[in-house]
Every structure is written in C-alpha cells, then in structure tokens.
Amino acid sequence: MHDGGVLRHLFERDGMPVEVPTGAPLTDADLKAGLLREVDLFAGLSLAQLKEISRTLPMTTCQTGGLVTSPDVDEERLYIVKRGRVRLYRLTPDGKQLTLDILDKGRIVGRMSWLAQELTDAYAEAIEDAVICSFTPGELQRLIDRYPSIGLNIIRYLSDRLASSEREREVMAFRSVEQRLATRLLELAHRFGQPENDGTAIDARLTQQELADMIGTSRETLATTISSLRERRILQMENHRVVLLDIDGLRELSEV
C-alpha cells in the first residue's frame, strides 16, 4: 500500500494540529468578492451583494498536501474552494484510498447535521495551494434566509454530485480497469484538459498511485494498463503529466 497518505493521516491524527485553515486571511474586499463571483453557490447575486457577503466570511489558504478537513474534525463547517484543487477521498480501515472527486473553483464540501452529510467519512486534501472560504451552519442559514437563491444553488450542486456518484457506482460495478481508466481520463480531460501540439494534456500533476485511487485499482495494475495504452498510441504519460493522443480511441474503449 502507498503509505505516504496513510502515514500522514496517522501523524496528523495523533494530536498534531491539522495544519489547515490557518493561512493568513485575505483582506482585500474586492479581491474576495471577485473570488466569490466564480462560485456556483453564489450564482445570480449582484457584485454588491457579493461584497456584502465577502465581508463576513473568513477566507484562508491551505498549501499543497494540507488537509482542508477530515472526519476527525468535529466542528460542523462548510468549505468552498476558491482557488487551487482539493481532492476528496475515503480511507478504508486497511489504508486504501478511493478518490471521490477533485474539487476546484466553486465547489463545496462539508458536513452539517442538517446538510451535506457527504463528508461524514471523507477526507479533503489540497493537491494544489488552495484558497478556501468556510461557514458555520448558522452563517449559512443566515445567508439562505437573506438570499434564497443560495438554497436553490445548493440543491442544484448536490443533485449534480449525486448523479455523477451514481454513475460511478455503475462503472465500478461492471467495467474493467481499462474501461474505468478510459472513462476517468475523458472526464479529467473534459474538466482540466488543455490542447497541446499533439493531443490534449490534463492539467494536473498526477502520480500513477493517484490515478489508481481514482478508479479503485492497484498501482501495479494501473501501470500495466497505462503501458498498454501507451503502446497503442492512445496516450502518453511522463513526469506526472498525462497527454491524450487519441481521444476517439479512448472514447471507444470507455463506451464498449
């Protein structure tokens, strides 16, 4: 098993203060309002309203590798990613990880008794330096009372997540590793892809272990699958960058 993550967890669990929502709070109101603007949760609000909101919300930074939150944190709180990327994952008793989602700008995680149970057993780790903003349940309640559209935005967000989560269940149940990998790479390309001379690069540093955790397989199996796809000129992968060379071929694999 890949012990990096696990050991870090154990370490941090053992009384070490979780190092995270600890960065220096940002101060510039306009900057903060600008960041909020890109958040789906606040879609439909005016800039003035965003400034109003941003005055009250603490915004913190979290550096790569830090835990934004974990099941061990008792406090109920909702986190919104403003900048950077956060990996949401579950940890099995024997140390295996399953990455549930990569959250970027505008996405939310958290746990509140009356909302968002999702994080009950999931860890959230910054995989890039991230700017995070967070609420308590009370603050969120106030916001919803004042701006009802926020409630609707939450509904929309949760139901998107639910739809894709249930799609994943089917994929895990019936598809081979190669098919799951193809599916996942296409999705990553859709979300983080950028054209490159000879194909589409996925703009994220990914180790093979991380990819394996996303599709629920072992590091070794993933490596041989990648090799096979590389031989077939479907993709290439070097120093943590994946470049898709034959999107159509990949799509064909994923759809069989």
d(CA 93, CA 181): 25
d(CA 15, CA 127): 23
Q: Which amino acid is at 249?
A: G
Partner touching 184 among DNA, a second copy, none, CB below 5 to 8 Å by kind: none
d(CA 251, CA 256): 9
Out of 240, 251, 252, 255, the residue judged to bind DNA by CB under 7 A: 240
Partner touching 122 among a second copy, DNA, none, CB below 5 to 8 Å by kind: a second copy
d(CA 130, CA 128): 6
Nearer to DNA, 37 or 219 (CB): 219
Q: Rule CB under 8 A: say whether 116 interacts with a second copy.
A: yes
d(CA 49, CA 42): 9
DSSP per-residue letters across 172-238 = HHH--HHHHHHHHHHHHHHHHEEEETTEEEE-S---HHHHHHHHT--HHHHHHHHHHHHHTTSEEEE
Out of 17, 74, 169, 197, the residue judged to bind a second copy by CB under 8 A: 169
Q: What track of x and - describes contact with a second copy for positions 72 through 111 (by CB under 8 A)?
A: ------------------x-x---x-x-x-----------
Q: What track of x and - describes contact with a second copy for positions 138 through 157 (by CB under 8 A)?
A: ------x---x--xx-xxx-
Partner touching 115 among a second copy, DNA, none, CB below 5 to 8 Å by kind: a second copy
Nearer to DNA, 142 or 232 (CB): 232
Chain positions contacting DNA, by CB under 7 A: 2-4, 176-178, 207-209, 216-221, 223-224, 226-227, 237, 239-240
